[in-house]
């Protein structure tokens, strides 16, 4: 099927649903598909796509929310930095309410700690320019999509000799955790809906290892309902035929090798490092650390006293991120843990799986 010009056309979606049902019946067994993008998570929930799928197709969410996978010890370090004299911490707003071992950035800010919400890394650089007597630390959290803007801010800081601008490296890249997912003995994924935004930057070929090394198919898809359903149909056809390839169904913006200009500026400042993911632990090569020549920009090298990392009691966010359980299977979901009183990161972030389920699916009785 060619790319649908009317991506929200109910008739197009209905035709895709019929196609999915037919292929599901032909396969004759339960198929589990996973999306690994927070925007997809909310697109699926908001459009009610999960309820449209036949019983033989299970669609689950993976580690597609960068705030959610950021481990608690990262927040502990951010708070310790904010407590230092003459240090200001700048962050995106969705990180403010994520619990640390003892508090949160939001609570620390309310108590008078110098923590500012910014909308871009360049905003944080401007804070540094406006306050030359203070060390300004930007919390560099995100996937491949935010790394180029952070690298651009670092390049600007280097050019301007703004020595008081630092980052706390926390960026992550998607291929390594996806390798961990297909190797997870507790989880059996038959195919992946691959992240559209990330693929614009990386290109789709970085996911070829799924098909070549593990015989697991993937499909890069956009974010309209028809985009997602076309991806589901494509993956089911691949399973039906015993194929395993990476299909680019978002070719209007995704190319094989992505944005090389962005890749070069990221490579100038960052190198792959092992890093911790909530729910997964340490994954080799899954983080972006500053290169040694930019150590003067690395706030993780500042000595601070940290508490032992401690996740919220009863929170199953890690299992949700691995796709082992759906949000309603967490004992806290919808009771102690709600958007107004979030216990875990998956309920805090606008891209979190628990937040999506609570807003769109908690009253539908949907189970996957």
Whole-number pLDDT of residue 365 = 52
Residue tagged 């009691």 (tokens): 313
Whole-number pLDDT of residue 351 = 87
Ordered per-residue pLDDT tens for the chain, 368 residues: 444 445 667 888 899 999 999 999 999 999 999 999 999 999 999 999 999 999 999 999 999 999 999 999 999 999 999 999 999 999 999 999 999 998 999 999 999 999 999 999 999 999 999 999 999 999 999 999 999 999 999 999 999 999 999 999 999 999 999 999 999 988 899 999 999 999 999 999 999 999 999 999 999 999 999 999 999 999 999 999 999 999 999 999 999 999 999 999 999 999 999 999 999 999 999 999 999 999 999 999 999 999 999 988 999 999 999 999 999 999 999 999 999 999 999 999 888 999 999 999 887 655 44
Q: Where are the domains of the chain?
A: 67-173+259-301
Q: Give the Cα separation of 147 and 141 in Å (integer).
A: 9
List the CATH code of the domain at 67-173+259-301: 3.40.50.11740
Burial of 196 (0-12, 13-18, 19+ CB in 10 A): buried
DSSP 8-class letter at 222:
-
Whole-number pLDDT of residue 185 = 83
Do the strands 270-277 and 281-290 form a parallel or antiparallel pair, or are they unpaired?
Answer: antiparallel
Burial of 55 (0-12, 13-18, 19+ CB in 10 A): exposed
Which CA distances in Å does 183 have to 61, 110, 175, 266? Answer: 17, 43, 13, 28
Whole-number pLDDT of residue 21 = 97
């Amino acid at each position: 099927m060619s790319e649908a010009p009317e991506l929200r056309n109910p008739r197009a979606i209905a035709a895709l649903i019929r196609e999915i049902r037919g292929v599901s019946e032909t396969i004759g067994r339960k198929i589990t598909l996973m999306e690994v993008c927070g925007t997809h998570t909310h697109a699926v929930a908001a459009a009610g796509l999960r309820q449209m799928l036949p019983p033989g197709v299970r669609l689950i969410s993976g580690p597609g929310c960068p705030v959610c996978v950021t481990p608690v010890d990262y927040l502990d370090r951010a708070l310790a930095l904010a407590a230092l004299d003459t240090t200001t911490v700048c962050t995106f707003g969705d990180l403010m309410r994520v619990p640390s071992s003892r508090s949160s950035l939001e609570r620390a800010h309310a108590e008078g700690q110098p923590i500012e919400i910014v909308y871009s890394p360049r905003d944080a650089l401007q804070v540094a320019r406006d306050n030359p007597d203070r060390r300004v630390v930007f919390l560099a959290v995100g996937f491949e999509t935010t790394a180029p803007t952070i690298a651009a801010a670092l390049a600007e800081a280097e050019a301007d000799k703004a020595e008081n601008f630092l980052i706390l490296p926390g960026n992550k890249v998607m291929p390594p955790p996806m390798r961990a997912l297909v190797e997870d003995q507790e989880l059996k994924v038959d195919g992946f809906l691959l992240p559209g935004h990330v693929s614009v930057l990386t290109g789709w070929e970085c996911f070829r290892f799924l098909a070549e090394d593990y015989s697991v198919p993937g499909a890069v898809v956009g974010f309209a309902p028809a985009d997602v359903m076309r991806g589901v149909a494509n993956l089911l056809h691949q399973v039906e035929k015993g194929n395993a390839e990476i299909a680019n169904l978002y070719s209007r913006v995704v190319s094989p090798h992505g944005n090389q200009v962005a890749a070069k500026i990221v490579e100038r400042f960052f190198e792959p490092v092992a890093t911790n993911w909530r729910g997964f632990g340490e994954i080799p090569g899954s983080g972006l650390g500053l290169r040694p020549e930019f150590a003067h920009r690395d706030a993780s090298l500042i000595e601070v006293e940290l508490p032992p990392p401690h996740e919220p009691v009863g929170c199953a966010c890690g299992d949700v991120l691995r796709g082992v359980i759906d949000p309603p299977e967490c004992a806290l979901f919808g009771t102690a843990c709600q958007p107004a009183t979030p216990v875990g990161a998956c309920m805090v972030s606008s891209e979190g799986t628990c937040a999506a389920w609570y807003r769109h699916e908690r009253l539908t009785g949907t189970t996957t």
